[in-house]
Amino acid sequence: MKNKLFKIGGTILIIMVVVLNLHGCIIASPKSDYKMKLTKDYQLWEINRYNVVIIKTSDKEGSDARVPGKVIELNFNDEYIIARSIPTYKARKKEFTNLMEEDKYMESIPEEEYEFWVIEVEKDIVHGPFNEEEFKKTKEELSVPESMELKELKSYKKNFEYVK
């Protein structure tokens, strides 16, 4: 009798796990990933919560990530794209800190370290990753307009094209 109850309980548990996993797939928001055209052949793509990248698309070569990690701020015009990102492994650390308290590698990653980027659109030249001081110096050397300041991604939300 005990054995039969154990089998029934195990079967019910497996069914519940499967249903909950499928529920997550079905109920997931259709607006979870997005893309946004920046300029010319450049786009911002959210691949997942840790990877929001700037890519260059090309009919001949497909697409190529120009700014990896998790872009959190950007600005652009026809000449330049500027961005601030969190490297992917640092974005993951922020999310999973409580799960990885004993992980020595994750503990060694500085908390507030960002990467800054400048892309020359016409020449397809990517400058970076830089720290903030190097970024400001590079902007000045390339004559990026002073008025071109980094903006949070949420300020571009109306331009997002959501993909399933």
Across the chain, which has 164 residues, the per-10-residue mean pLDDT values are 55 56 48 84 90 85 82 97 86 54 54 84 94 96 97 93 81
What is the pLDDT, as a whole number, of residue 36? 94
What is the pLDDT, as a whole number, of residue 33? 87
CA 85, CA 44: separation in Å to the nearest integer? 12
Residue 67, CB half-sphere, CA atoms under 13 Å: how many? Answer: 35
Helix (H, G, I), strand (E, B) or coil at 158: helix
What is the pLDDT, as a whole number, of residue 29? 46
What is the pLDDT, as a whole number, of residue 26? 44
What is the pLDDT, as a whole number, of residue 58? 77
What is the pLDDT, as a whole number, of residue 40? 85
What is the pLDDT, as a whole number, of residue 78? 96
Would you state the structure tokens that stand for residue 20, as one six-digit string?
Answer: 């909950």
Evaluate whether 57 touches 121 at the Cβ level (below 8 Å): no
CA 44, CA 57: separation in Å to the nearest integer? 11
111-149 b/e with 16+ CB inside 10 Å = b?
Answer: eeebbbbbbebeeeebbbbbeeeebeebbeeeebeeebe
Longest dimension (CA), the chain: 80
Q: Where are the domains of the chain?
A: 1-30, 32-163
State phi, psi for 54 to the nearest 5 degrees. Answer: -100, 125
